[in-house]
Amino acid sequence: MVQLLTPGGEVTDPARLPDPETQRRLYRLMRRARHFDERAWVLYRTGRMGVFPPYGGMEASQVGTAAALTHEDWLFPTYRDTGAALTYGLPIPQTIAYWRTSPHGWAMPENLKVLPFYIPIATQYPHAVGAALAEQRRGTQNVAMAFIGDGGSSEGDFHEALNFAGALNAPCVFILQNNGWAISVPTRAQTKATNLSRRADGYGIPGVRVDGNDVLATYVVTREAVERARRGEGPTLIETVTYRVKPHTVADDPSRYRTAEDTAGWDEKDPVVRLRTHLLAQGHLTEAEDAEIVREIEAEFEAALAEADAYPEPTPAEIVDHVFAEPTPALRRQRAELLAEEGQ
Amino acid sequence: MRTMTMVAAINDALALALERDPDVHIFGEDVGVMGGVFRATDGLQSRFGTDRVFDTPLAEAGIVGMGIGMGLAGLKPVAEIQFAGFLYPALDQVLSHLGRYRHRTRSRYHLPMVVRAPYGGGVHTPEQHADSPEAILAHTPGVKVVIPSTPRDAKGLLLAAIEDPDPVFFFEAIKLYRSVKEEVPEGHYTIPLGQARIVTEGDDVTVICYGGMVEVAQKAAEAARAHGIGVEVIDLRTLVPLDTGTILASVQKTGRVIVVTEAPRTGGFHSEISATIAEEAIDFLRAPILRVTGFDAPYPPFTSIEDAYRPNPVRVAKAIRKVMAY
């Protein structure tokens, strides 16, 4: 397993460390992702956010990977990957809107190649292969990145996608976040092959296992995979070994299926604390700078929340909009029905 | 004009699409070197290269899923599923994603994708090769469904399907691939989706059908004509969008309706047509709407009794007599 920082913040492989500027950037992105996760909980409890799948504790896995992309690259996130989408550049107001189930959260920005969070499991993996293949056919160096969990790696689409990507040499980076749990089912019950990175062997592509709570390691490993893909050397599967310290969603009660022993030790592996310890020790960050980063992040979020609050609510007639470029006669009739209902 | 089989007309349409638009890519099992199991893609790979026309691993969810990704990224994927009965592994991709992309992204993304698949019975294929799953697709929001019955229609509808900005399922009746020949215009033309074709005109009974059932309905109509009964045969050509205007105009004229498909009876698209007529034109009806269909059982892989499953002209003629006698 690749690791550059121990849980205590000690450097294990100085030669592979990214430069201090990049380290600070990754730290800031993790703090930003964490702030969203924490605020989402509070907003949910006060009725200002819908059901939300938290990713707190998995920031290194999501930020280190997505930070290796540019906006010319594709991102296919699952519902657990809000942190990755924010890191890639999905604006916070839109991200809030998505988790409020406002259409504004689905109308992705024109300048980004990101898809709304995937709800079905594993179906995004073949999509990434197709997008990557399209970039390859057009002669660009752009890549496609897709996320999945340990549970998702049991689905057929996961295996079909890895096989297609290998066979077609598609410029894909497959992130497999092994966070230990598929709702209530632990990885050991999911598969006998618990080293999930080895699944790559079956498809003749590189598989890398990385400490998913070490953002420097996830970033370096992902950047190498992205560069390989850009050079035309095909796909990589990256297993980020992390843990879902939070419930499946804000509506889930993990005490029904796991004990304190299951989760023991993971708080000490916290990715944000780990990098902060390292940055302070190396003098790459001061306490004052850290406080300033947090202040900026808080201000950014509150401004975004105000912007999201201003989005108008959709009307029932919008149900039948955007089905086809040109509505069918049936849809036109149904739209008239909805409008008539509204008028009553 | 050239005299062509339906499979040749489909091949011609695919070649034209590849020629006209560099975004068009054709892929699936055996479509490349071999040119498809029915030769629909014959010669295309050697003409357009392995980037444009390529074989995929044997995995239908992968084929459709990858096509979705290609479409999201702005290409025009034209996927072949070798038989409609082998579509089922890809249904997760179809039902979960294919028709939803424009809707879920409020038109930021759309999927100009075509999925072609041979369908239907009547040629004694092995088990699982003769299914008619079109109702599943027609019941899936955001997906168009096209089923041609002649070479000329197949070419024009396929070109329209490929040029359509939204996902289209294009089902090709295996029975008709080589059994029907007709004059097909050369070069590019399209037939708009959502326009039914009146195959034969008549004043007494309307028979609504599509794909492989059109020739069956025509034969029954000819037999009825010998008894002085005027049968209007309507070939829907597309199920989504549905040309209700042509259906209702005919029903208002004849007052008698038979819907013919080779799919299982319960919940088939024939039922949707029947319900539409009941809702919109019940005052014009002089007899119950009859459905002549397959049965609520899997298409039988038993050659000696297979022909009892698929509607034939005799069964349609019987239904014509029944509505005339009501």
pLDDT digits (tens, 9 = 90+) for B3-48: 999 999 999 999 999 999 999 999 999 999 999 999 999 999 999 9
> B109 at the A interface (CB within 8 A)?
yes
B81 in Cβ contact with B115 (< 8 Å)? yes
Separation between Cα atoms, residue A225 and residue A232, nearest integer Å:
11
Catalytic positions of B, please? 129
The C-alpha of A320 sits at a distance from chain B's nearest C-alpha, in angstroms, of 8
Q: Is residue A342 scored above 90 in pLDDT? A: no
Separation between Cα atoms, residue A332 and residue B12, nearest integer Å:
34
Mean pLDDT value across residues A139-164: 97
Indicate yes or no: CB of A130 within 8 angstroms of CB of B72: yes
CB-side neighbour CA atoms (13 Å) of B258: 28
Indicate yes or no: CB of A157 within 8 angstroms of CB of B25: no
What stretches of B227-312 show up as alpha helix (H) in DSSP?
A: 244-254, 269-281, 303-306
pLDDT class for B166, splitting at 50, 70, 90?
very high
Amino acid residing at B192: P
The C-alpha of A85 sits at a distance from chain B's nearest C-alpha, in angstroms, of 15
Task: Identify the weakest region by mean pLDDT among A76-90, A252-266, B76-90.
Answer: A252-266
pLDDT class for A343, splitting at 50, 70, 90?
confident
Res A162: pLDDT? 98
Q: Is A248 known to be catalytic?
A: yes
- Catalytic residue (choose from A257, A258, A284, A311): A257
Q: Across chain B, what does the average pLDDT equal?
A: 97
pLDDT class for A166, splitting at 50, 70, 90?
very high
B5 in Cβ contact with B151 (< 8 Å)? yes
Chain B CA closest to residue A73 = B73
Q: Is residue A244 scored above 90 in pLDDT? A: yes
Q: Is residue A344 scored above 70 in pLDDT? A: no
Separation between Cα atoms, residue B62 and residue B71, nearest integer Å:
14
* pTM as predicted: 0.95
Strands B238-240 and B144-146: antiparallel
pLDDT in tens, A42-62: 999 999 999 999 999 999 999
The backbone region for B122, taken as left when phi is positive above 0, alpha when psi lies in -120 to 50, beta otherwise, is left
Chain B CA closest to residue A321 = B103
Q: With residue A146 as reference, give the H or E element that holds it.
A: strand A144-149
Length reported for chain A: 344
Mean pLDDT value across residues A268-290: 97
Q: Across chain A, what does the average pLDDT equal?
A: 96
Separation between Cα atoms, residue A190 and residue A187, nearest integer Å:
5
Mean pLDDT value across residues A196-222: 98
The C-alpha of B175 sits at a distance from chain A's nearest C-alpha, in angstroms, of 30
**Residue A102 is encoded by which pair of tokens?**
């406002």
> A329 at the B interface (CB within 8 A)?
yes
B116 in Cβ contact with B53 (< 8 Å)? no
Residues whose CB is less than 8 angstroms from the CB of residue A342 and which lie 6 or more positions away in sequence, other chains included: A315, A316, A317
Separation between Cα atoms, residue A4 and residue A223, nearest integer Å:
14
Q: CA geometry: angle at B108 spanning A38 and A176, to 5°?
A: 50
